[in-house]
Amino acid sequence: MTTSPTRQRTSIQLCARQLGFTLIAEASDLGVSARLLSPFERPSLSSWLQRPDAYEAIVWSHVDRAVRSVLHMSELIEWSRRNSITLVFGMPEEHRPLVITPQAAGDAVRRCMDLAHAAEQEARAISARLTSAHEVLRAAGRYGGGLVPFGYKKSPHASGVGWSLVPDPETVTVVRAIVNGVHSGRSLVAIAHELEIAGVLVPRDRHAYLQGRPTGGRRHGRDFERYRWTAGSLCKILRTPALMGHRVHKGKTVRNADGSPVLIGPPLLSEEEFQALQDTLKARSNGPRRKRRETALLIGVAHCAGCGGRMYFAARKACAYGDYVCRASARGTTCTAPAGIRADWLNEYTVSHYREAFATDGEVTRGQLLKDGVRVIVVKGRSGGGPKRLTGPDTSRLTFTIESRT
């Protein structure tokens, strides 16, 4: 288990004591790369950067915990000046934090930019070394870290150096049961639902559990104690060549110079069994995907009152219009009152209320609705109703709200 979060927290607390600050909250983005994402793109931190009136300073344990890019540092300093926020970076090697006030200029800012440049160069060097190391590990058939393929567990490599993978007795039986379910004609949604009821951990959560880390995490703005099985997560397991014991990189089998697959461990399925599984999945698919339509206006805006989950657009055959529907089953959950409503009706209702609330008559886009915190809750309707149902939506089922962004 990593001790980095504890060390960072201790450093931040020391900086706060030295400067006489009172810590009011903590933003933790474990597993998020400062090299790839700016502070404004990280789930936990970005929510605080959107409300600078709630505090006067931000403290990081070190510059490289804040940014690993000169561009990102420039953006952060500009933001701090615009919002009158002091930036503090712990400097353990100097026993005194680096403080950048909104009025700072000259040497202090140049120092910040130099440290950001050094962090950027270090990140590039580390990335290059890791890429090279993983290429060697892939060629040798060794496990190089990361998510262990479902059905396997780590084991010392036969050479005595590093790790390989071996079948995991606890999950091999699950893999077999899933494969048998597919061949018997059961849907992936039904299989996912059964796994949920049985309490089987998804691959990501099982990996975390075996590593002694908490399960679950944050996804689509929501926190989960553990992730759920879905048809999509099952499909990833069933289509990966790792089931044959192959080393896989970016979804493809890694091969030796002679074209043979690099093996990471004993196969869970023979090549014949794996191919039969792919043929079954292909036969059950809906054929070539049609060109993807533009994202529906209210994705992320419309929510089902029964389960609180997002509603998604579903086309209707032989109809010019579609519907927004609850998709709890696709998420591996059960909704006690799944809602559904004609898309054009809900679009019109939402746009009308938005224009009234914001005193505008211009075009309304999905981006605007999400940015302004618009949320529409849809309650399940009752069956029946006769011709009245064709005249328009029952607005008593709908609730239009604007979430505070302060």
From 194-198, 291-295, 363-367, the region with the lowest mean pLDDT: 291-295
Q: What is the SS3 assignment for the chain? A: CCCHHHHHHHHHHHHHHHHCCCCCCCCCCCCCCCCCCCHHHCHHHHHHHCCHHHCCEEEECCHHHHCCCHHHHHHHHHHHHHHCCEEEECCCCCCCCEEECCCCCCHHHHHHHHHHHHHHHHHHHHHHHHHHHHHHHHHHCCECCCCCCCCEEEEECCCCCCEEEEECHHHHHHHHHHHHHHHCCCCHHHHHHHHHHHCCCCHHHHHHHHCCCCCCEEECCEEECCCCCCHHHHHHHHHCHHHHCECEECCEECECCCCCECECCCCCCCHHHHHHHHHHHHHHCCCCCCCCCCCCCCCCCEEECCCCCEEEEEECCCCCCEEEEECHHHHCCCCCCCCEEEHHHHHHHHHHHHHHHHCCCCCCCHHHHHHCCEEEEECCCCCCCHHHHHCCCCHHHEEEEECCCC
* Higher per-residue confidence, 319 vs 129: 319
Q: Distance from first CA to last CA of the chain, Å, rounded? A: 36
Q: What's the rounded mean pLDDT across residues 69-83? A: 86
- The per-residue pLDDT for 200 is 92
> pLDDT class for 324, splitting at 50, 70, 90?
very high
pLDDT at 405 over 60: no
pLDDT at 388 over 70: no
pLDDT score recorded for residue 315? 85
In contact, 46 and 29? CB cutoff 8 Å: no
Task: Give bridge partners of residue 326 from the DSSP assignment.
Answer: 311
Indicate the pLDDT class of residue 57, thresholds 50, 70 and 90.
Answer: very high
Q: CB–CB of 67/76 below 8 Å?
A: yes
pLDDT band for position 42 (50/70/90)?
Answer: confident
**Between these two residues, 243 and 107, which has the higher pLDDT value?**
243
- State the amino acid at position 267 in one-letter form: P
**Mean pLDDT over residues 380-388, rounded?**
63
Question: Is pLDDT at 127 greater than 60 in this prediction?
Answer: no
Question: What mean pLDDT is predicted for residues 222-248?
Answer: 86
pLDDT band at 144 (very low <50, low <70, confident <90, very high): low
Q: What percent of the chain has pLDDT over 90?
A: 23
List Cα–Cα distances, 183 to 177, 216, 270, 337, in angstroms. Answer: 10, 30, 15, 32
- Average pLDDT of span 142-159: 75
CA 124 to chain centre: 24
Give the per-residue pLDDT at 65: 79
Which residues on neighbouring strands pair with residue 219, listed in sequence order?
A: 222
Residue 175 in contact with residue 237, Cβ under 8 Å?
Answer: yes
Reduce the DSSP state of residue 257 to 3 states and report it. coil
Cα–Cα distance list, 5 to 124, 306, 335 (Å): 23, 38, 37
Rounded distance, CA 110 to CA 331, Å? 49
pLDDT band at residue 33 under the 50/70/90 scheme: low
Residue 86: φ, ψ to 5°:
-85, 135
Radius of gyration (C-alpha) of the chain in whole angstroms: 26
State the chain's mean pLDDT as an integer.
81
pLDDT for the residue 63 = 81
Q: Mean pLDDT, to the nearest integer, of 300-310?
A: 91
Quickly state the pLDDT bin for 31 (edges 50, 70, 90): low
Residue range 237-273, pLDDT digits in tens: 999 998 988 878 777 887 776 777 877 778 899 989 9
Confidence of residue 134 (pLDDT cuts 50, 70, 90): very low
Asked whether the beta carbons of 180 and 195 are under 8 A apart, the reply is no
pLDDT band at 3 (very low <50, low <70, confident <90, very high): very low
Please tell me the least confidently modeled range out of 71-80, 121-130, 160-169: 121-130
Contact between residue 150 and residue 167 where contact means Cβ atoms under 8 Å apart: no
Q: In this predicted structure, which of 81-85, 235-239, 328-332, 386-390 has the lowest mean pLDDT?
A: 386-390
Q: Among residues 70, 153, 143, 75, which one has the least CA distance to residue 110?
A: 70
| Count of H-run helices and E-run strands, the chain | 12, 15
Asked if the model's pLDDT at residue 136 lies above 70, the reply is no
The per-residue pLDDT for 377 is 94
Dist CA 367 CA 50 (whole Å):
16
* Distant-in-sequence, close-in-space partners of 91: CB < 8 Å, separation ≥ 6: 62, 97, 98
Q: Which residue has the higher pLDDT, 314 or 248?
A: 314
pLDDT of residue 90: 86
As a whole number of angstroms, the distance between CA 101 and CA 400 comes to 41
pLDDT higher than threshold 80 for residue 221? no
* Residue 303 Cα distances to 85, 310, 313, 346, angstroms: 36, 4, 12, 11
Please state, in angstroms and as integers, the Cα–Cα distance from residue 384 to each residue in 196, 316, 398, following that order.
34, 19, 18
Is 138 a residue whose pLDDT tops 60?
A: no
- Lateral strand order in the sheet of 57-60: 57-60, 86-89, 98-100
